[in-house]
Amino acid sequence: MTDADARIEAARRALEEATAALAAAEAEAEASAATEPEPASEPATEPATAASASGPLDEQQLEAVRAGYAFEAAALEIGAIVNGEAVPGVPVRIPLAMTNRHGLVAGATGTGKTKTLQVLAEQLSAAGVPVFAADIKGDLSGIATPGEPNDKLLARTRGIGQDWVPAAAPTEVFSLGGRGLGVPIRATVSSFGPLMLSKVLGLNKTQESSLGLVFHFADEHGLALVDLSDLRTVLQYLTSAEGKTELEGIGGLSKQTAGVILRELVNFSEQGADIFFGETEIDTREFLRVTDDGRGVVSLLELPGVASNPALFSTFLMWLLADLFNELPEVGDLDKPKLVFFFDEAHLLFSGASKAFIEQITQTVRLIRSKGVGIFFVTQTPKDVPDDVLAQLGSRIQHQLRAHTPDDATALRQTVRTYPRSGYDLEAVLTQLATGEAIVTVMNEKGAPSPVAWTRLRAPQASMSPTPDEGLRQLVASSSLYPRYSPVLDPQSAHEVLTAKMNAAAERERAEAAAAEAEKQAAKDAKERERAEKAARSRTQTRTTTRARPDTGGGNVVSDILGSRTGQTIVREVVRGVFGTLFKKRR
């Protein structure tokens, strides 16, 4: 027997002995338990212990979750852990300072995503953090109206340890270009810039470069690009006879490329983008306001019908983020963000977006947190968000997912793999979550992920129904911003300047063409007159020669008259009169 065989045999004997010893110990324990009286049961002193018996987590795991969300600094209360039943003694929270590390709120339709967004926005506002939210469906506007209590609501909030009182957040209502209720939000094409416009229009590198030359020309010549008509006019000018030489020294602009850009601009306009571009342009710092009592203002952008215009929605958001990124200074890590964005229906932002556009969003999300801005995407499934963007999101609140199709099942498994290991069977739990419940993991104060927690979420303190239109009208009427941004200005811009220039050039061309035609006609008239005079002289010479011939004695009255001086005069006048008539006909 080799040494290896000997070691295997020794290990086998040791295992058999250990198994026998374990069986004997278990038998002895059972005999002892049968003879000893059972101790009186004691009431549980910790809610977590009582609930752990019926839930997926044991007491040790539950305590780990409690410790994982016990932050020392200020935090947003999300709800209480569910372990069979809600456990009020184990709250689930997000550190306020970590909300600029971005987040995701996902879940199927009707699972409570928008109410979760409202809960977070209310608490951010109360903590002095301004909030911007795009309200596509209109059901977030209730944040401007205090909620109304009822028995079901109060029973739920008591069950998770929430001391619920009705409260509204200070709200400013905006609308895109004045479509719908709200303070109009507009931007000029000049401030939007060629790079971002190229991304939105889906232009290739050559077309993007050419569009950059168009903006360069406008900037160099002081031509304001206020709306899309200004940009179209500049493109038309630079491909006209008057302006085609303007860019020759720096590469020029081909008619083919200009035609592609013009077609894309027309399509973009048909999607409703015209209402966004113009004056008065919004100052994005308006979204950073705080009330006199220290609460952050919730800027609510109402977007009726935007689901059919995803390009318009994504255009505004990208410009807004880019403008804030350009305007705000670097601040590093703060105790609380300067602003938090909530992008409801985020799949519209990425739907049909080009690769370059996605890259732009990824870069903005990665860098803007250093400016003190946090971004939360709200959508149906994590797969709606590109992987490069998803990787930047520190906090995740995942409502119920449905797996009714093979694609849904695949998406479910992919979602489960993105979570840290936990005591849950997430593939089963995610399909069993009730409305208002979610699987939560956040970035803790040290930048590490918190334990995964099945959470029953808090209820909003504001109304969970939309604020009526009359209430929104009152908010808009009392806004200090409305008088500033509601006027639609039409300053002199590239369209007016270049249209006048092209009209003047066209008028000059017409005048020059008319002068050339007149000169041509005059030359023709002179030629006709010269021909007529030559013919007249020829006839006169013929008659003179005829009269000078010797008289043969066969003369008559007509010949005598035509041969006379008076006859010669009559012939000349008849010839001029006939040519004059034909001449006039030619004229």
Q: Flag whether pLDDT at 502 surpasses 50.
A: yes
Torsion of CA 420, 424, 429, 433, to 10 degrees: -90
What pTM was computed for the model? 0.75
The answer to whether 97 and 445 are in contact (CB under 8 A) is yes
The answer to whether 517 and 561 are in contact (CB under 8 A) is no
| Strand, helix or coil for residue 538 | helix
Angle, vertex CA 172, rays to CA 170 and CA 173, nearest 5: 135
Question: What sign has the CA pseudo-torsion 239, 241, 245, 248?
Answer: positive
pLDDT band with cut points at 50, 70 and 90 for residue 581: very low
Q: Where are the domains of the chain?
A: 100-185+287-476, 190-269, 526-586
Q: State the average pLDDT for the chain.
A: 82
pLDDT tens track for 77-113: 999 999 999 999 999 999 999 999 999 999 998 899 9
* Partners of residue 427 on adjacent β-strands: none
Residue with tokens 């670097």: 330
Name the CATH superfamily, with its identifier, for domain 100-185+287-476. Answer: P-loop containing nucleotide triphosphate hydrolases (3.40.50.300)
pLDDT tens track for 134-184: 888 788 999 999 999 999 999 999 999 999 999 999 999 999 887 888 999
State the pLDDT at residue 46. 43
Q: What one-character DSSP code corresponds to residue 59?
A: H
pLDDT tens track for 307-326: 667 667 777 777 888 889 88
Q: Flag whether pLDDT at 419 surpasses 70.
A: yes
Rounded CA separation 86/119 (Å): 18
Question: Which pair of tokens denotes residue 367?
Answer: 């860098």
How many C-beta atoms surround the C-beta of residue 92 within 10 A? 30
pLDDT band with cut points at 50, 70 and 90 for residue 583: very low
